[in-house]
Structure 1
Amino acid sequence: MTDLIEQFFNAYWQPGMKMVFREEVPKEMIQSKIDEDGWYEWKILPGRLTIEDYQKIENHFNVVLPENFIEWHRRYFFEDGDCSIIRLPSSLPTRPLEYLRNILDWHIPQKLIPQGLVPFADEGNDTGPLVFDLRGQLEKKDFPIRVYDHEYQGDLDGLSEIIFSSFNKLLECLTHYLIEKKTQKNFKILPDFFSIDPDGAGSTGRIYWENWMVMQRENFEEFGY
């Protein structure tokens, strides 16, 4: 898992990545002057959060987070977690668990959590949160991942099929996607998910990812990206 975490962050963060400046961003994360439009280059920093910090989140919201997700999230502080197809929860030293708290602290999670579904990230098309499916899985250290359509307001009819069999497989697929995206069209990369995660993306998640491919291809043909 350690190697997988490093591989992900090596693929995700690149020098020159920019964000709009906010007062809560610590100076040590800023790699450039803030330009006239308020943008600055940022860098990742070694994380300092403890397991106990995450246990407080779990206890407060009555959730269980996979050990490998916690290990990944606490490895670094990072300003942004937007991977295009998925937006992972960022972590600032000054507000380290704010994003994760916000994902868990609104009316839809309040309905999903008692049903064994724990939001932890956002779907790239703003469909709704990605959720860990804990139902019947509590003895495991990792959980399958689904998308929840927020328009269903907590009704389980809004729950997708499993799109990743585990958080490890999500990281593997995203790492591959981020690396290959530098040289390939995005819609040509997604089919690789089927072999990387045959029990999730390549099984129950196949239709979900095929729909993404169609959308990405249409965007490329119409807009050139």
Structure 2
Amino acid sequence: MRLPIKTDPEDGGVPLSMVNGEVDEEGYVEWKMLPSTVTGEEVTEIEKSLPAPFPPLFRAYLTTRFVLDMQVVNPPYFFMFPELPADNPFRDITFTLQAWNLLLTTGYIPFAEYQDGWGPVCFDTKQQTADGDYAIVWFDHEHLLHELDEEDYRLREKVESYAQSLFPSFRVFMTEMFLH
């Protein structure tokens, strides 16, 4: 749990409030999780630009703790969740939503990265469960960037053909990743 210390307000280093120890000679420092101050109303504000609200368990992730370097590894899976730094908790999720914003028009909400830059992991809002959760799918970034044009993103059928199903819900995803 060591990352570079934040040296610029705009960089992605460890915010001072999350520092847990001394900075080493390479500029790295241990960090600690902190209770989140993010409110449900702040999450709701982000959701206004989405095709549907986040699932309840993901909302809990966004509002419970400030956390950095959130990698979920359970072979063969490796996911990179958005970091929630104390000084800018929505930085990563906002970046992810903007980077893959064309997916929003067809009902996909990007929320994480598969492997290290292989493409977005998304909530598929067209596959909703009774409790407000969604199926989890992954898109290979090569397909999105090289096989679809902007017009294709308006057609659910076209985009859906590239979706690779991972889990039937975010709850199942979290259970499989953390309890097995």
TM-score, structure 1 length as denominator?
0.65
Q: Which residue of 1 aligns with 2:5?
A: 21
Is the CA contact 2:5–2:23 (under 8 Å) kept in the aligned structure 1? yes
How far apart, CA to CA, are the structure 2 residues paired with 1:73 and 1:150?
A: 25
Q: 5+ unaligned residues in a row in structure 1: which ranges?
A: 1-16, 178-225
Q: Alpha carbon RMSD of aligned pairs, Å?
A: 1.9
Three-state SS of the structure 1 residue aligned to 2:20 is coil
Which deviations, in whole Å up to 9, do the C-alpha atoms of 1:87-121 show, x marking residues without a partner?
11110111011100001002xx2221111111000
Q: Which residue of 2 aligns with 1:141?
A: 132
Is the CA contact 2:127–2:134 (under 8 Å) kept in the aligned structure 1? no
- Counterpart amino acid of 1:91? L
**Are residues 20 and 111 of structure 1, via their aligned partners in 2, closer, same or farther at CA, if it must alter by over 3 Å?**
same
In proportion to residue count, which structure has more helix? Answer: 1
Q: Which residue of 1 aligns with 2:171?
A: 168
Is the CA contact 1:150–1:158 (under 8 Å) kept in the aligned structure 2? no
Q: Which residue of 1 aligns with 2:79?
A: 86
- Counterpart amino acid of 2:79? I
Which deviations, in whole Å up to 9, do the C-alpha atoms of 1:182-218 show, x marking residues without a partner?
xxxxxxxxxxxxxxxxxxxxxxxxxxxxxxxxxxxxx
How far apart, CA to CA, are the structure 2 residues paired with 1:64 and 1:103?
A: 16
Q: Which residue of 2 aligns with 1:30?
A: 19
- Sequence identity of aligned pairs in percent? 26
**Are residues 87 and 136 of structure 1, via their aligned partners in 2, closer, same or farther at CA, if it must alter by over 3 Å?**
closer
Q: Which residue of 2 aligns with 1:105?
A: 98
Which deviations, in whole Å up to 9, do the C-alpha atoms of 1:131-160 show, x marking residues without a partner?
001115286411110101112225523211
Q: 5+ unaligned residues in a row in structure 2: which ranges?
A: 145-152
How far apart, CA to CA, are the structure 1 residues paired with 2:85 and 2:93?
A: 11
- Counterpart amino acid of 1:86? F
Q: Which residue of 1 aligns with 2:118?
A: 127
Q: Which residue of 2 aligns with 1:64?
A: 53
Which deviations, in whole Å up to 9, do the C-alpha atoms of 1:48-83 show, x marking residues without a partner?
111111111111345421111101221100122122
In proportion to residue count, which structure has more strand? Answer: 2
Q: 4+ runs of 1 displaced by more than 4 Å?
A: none
Stretch deviating more after TM superposition (33-42 or 132-141): 132-141
